[in-house]
Amino acid sequence: MAALLNLILTFSLLTIANSLSLNYYHKTCPDAESIVAKAVKAAKAVDKTVPAAILRMHFHDCFIRGCDASVLLNSKGNNKAEKDGPPNVSLHAFYVIDNAKKAIESACPGIVSCADILAIAARDAVFLSGGPSWDVPKGRKDGRKSKASETIQLPAPTFNISQLQKSFSQRGLSIEDLVALSGGHSLGFSHCSSFNSRIHNFDATHDIDPSLNPSFASKLKSICPLKNQAKNAGTTLDPSSTTFDNTYYKLILQGKSIFSSDQALVDTPKTKNLVSKFATSQDAFYKSFVKSMIKMSSINNGQEVRKDCRVVN
């Protein structure tokens, strides 16, 4: 039964119903991309956490129902949407996509999907953080469903390497894609709740996850004490958390990554080789990241071009 469900999930996620192209809006909305870039840049100037938020938002969008802007829909009536599901702790900056959409609707109404706006914004988020740029294939359609209960399909920070591999392969993504896309953790922040299990009562014999560097673990424990933990307490995923670079991979090799799912990337020879390669060569990381982002962001199965990114037409 579980196998059958997996097969169905895999099949439906792999269906790329809308074929994408680089010049999709060339005639119908030539300024679409510059309008999005402007919105992301303006928001970043006020709040430096915006690029990380946008990149994560796009990842969550793509992993549930494909990149169809399901992550942007608001809860309505009895339906609790993805953004109100449990792994939402740090999803924020939805207003940036709203601002871009508003500006685009006044330039070319009813043409550009919210899913495309989010994919373009994610590219801009990386580039504006000093990372690589790339041409985003466009032509995604927006979906009409968003369910909080489906957010359990996202990989968890406690996942081991086989669970991560499975989660990615269900979406047509390879081991190389897993290691390269995890480099998204070069940007941003995590709440203590996402890594508490590594630093308190880890298992029957260890209080602290033995794969953690001991002095780094003590630092995390002081930020996230077992008792009276502040709701917003946490740490950056990388000390250079507003610069998109390969520091993330160097930290993994030192036992200084935040999540078990990050550290797990050294648990097979193949993934470990990729981590070492990306730690040594930022250029190799950028090349792989771009390739894998285009692959992840091409999963799409939507039906319409929403007028308002928060509600279906």
Ligand X SMILES: *[C@@H]1O[C@H](CO)[C@@H](O)[C@H](O)[C@H]1NC(C)=O
**Among all chains, which residue has been given the structure tokens 């991560």?**
164
Query: According to the annotation, is 82 in a ligand binding site?
Result: yes
Q: Which of residues 165-184 bind ligand HEM (CB under 6 A)?
A: 181-182, 184
Give dist(CA 6, CA 22) in Å, integer: 32
Q: Does 83 bind ligand X (CB under 6 A)?
A: yes
How far apart (Å, rounded) are the C-alpha atoms in residues 212 and 30?
49
Cα–Cα distance measured from residue 47 to residue 34, given in angstroms and rounded to the nearest whole number: 20
Pick one of ligand HEM, ligand X, none as the site partner of residue 83 (Cβ within 5 to 8 A by kind): ligand X
Of the listed pieces 66-74, 130-138, 158-166, 276-284, which binds ligand X according to CB under 6 A?
158-166
- Residue 87 counted as an annotated binding residue: no
Smallest gap from residue 141 Cβ to ligand HEM (A):
22
Distance between CA 213 and CA 209 in Å, rounded?
9
Note whether 163 binds ligand X by CB under 6 A.
yes
Contact partner at residue 134 from ligand HEM, ligand X, none, CB < 5 to 8 Å by partner kind: none
3-state secondary structure of 271: helix
| The length of the chain, given as a count of residues | 313
Beta bridge partners of 138: 21
Among 83, 140, 141, 185, binds ligand HEM (CB under 6 A): 185
Instruction: Quote the crossing angle between the two packed helices 32-46 and 114-128, to the nearest 10°.
Output: 50
Q: Which does 156 bind (CB under 5 to 8 A by kind): ligand X, ligand HEM, none?
A: ligand HEM
Among positions 161, 179, 187, 212, the unique one binding ligand X when judged by CB under 6 A: 161
CA atoms within 13 A on the CB side of 159: 19
Q: Using CA atoms, how far apart are residues 261 and 164, in angstroms rounded to an integer? A: 7
Question: Binding residue for ligand X (CB under 6 A) from 9, 21, 22, 86?
Answer: 86
Catalytic residue among 26, 58, 60, 200: 60
Residues 302 and 68: their CA atoms lie apart, in Å, by 5
DSSP conformation class of 31:
T
In the complex, minimum distance from the CB of residue 50 to ligand HEM, in angstroms, rounded to a whole number: 9
Shorter beta-carbon distance to ligand X: residue 16 or 89: 89
What does the alpha-carbon distance between residue 253 and residue 257 come to, in Å, rounded to a whole number? 8
The verdict on 261 binding ligand HEM (CB under 6 A) reads: yes
Check residue 291 for interaction with ligand HEM (CB under 6 A): no
Closest residue by Cα to residue 112 from 306, 311, 312: 306
Size of the site for ligand HEM (CB under 6 A): 26
Distances (CA, A) of 242 to 235, 236, 245: 13, 9, 9
28-67: contacts with ligand HEM (CB under 6 A)? 49, 52-53, 55-56, 59
Among this protein's residues, is 26 annotated catalytic? no
155 binds ligand HEM (CB under 6 A): yes
Whether residue 96 contacts residue 54, with contact meaning beta carbons closer than 8 Å, is answered with: yes
Annotated binding site for Ca(2+): 61, 66, 68, 70, 82, 238, 245
Catalytic annotation, residues: 60
Contact positions vs ligand HEM (CB under 6 A): 49, 52-53, 55-56, 59, 89-90, 155-157, 159, 164, 181-182, 184-185, 187-191, 194, 237, 259, 261
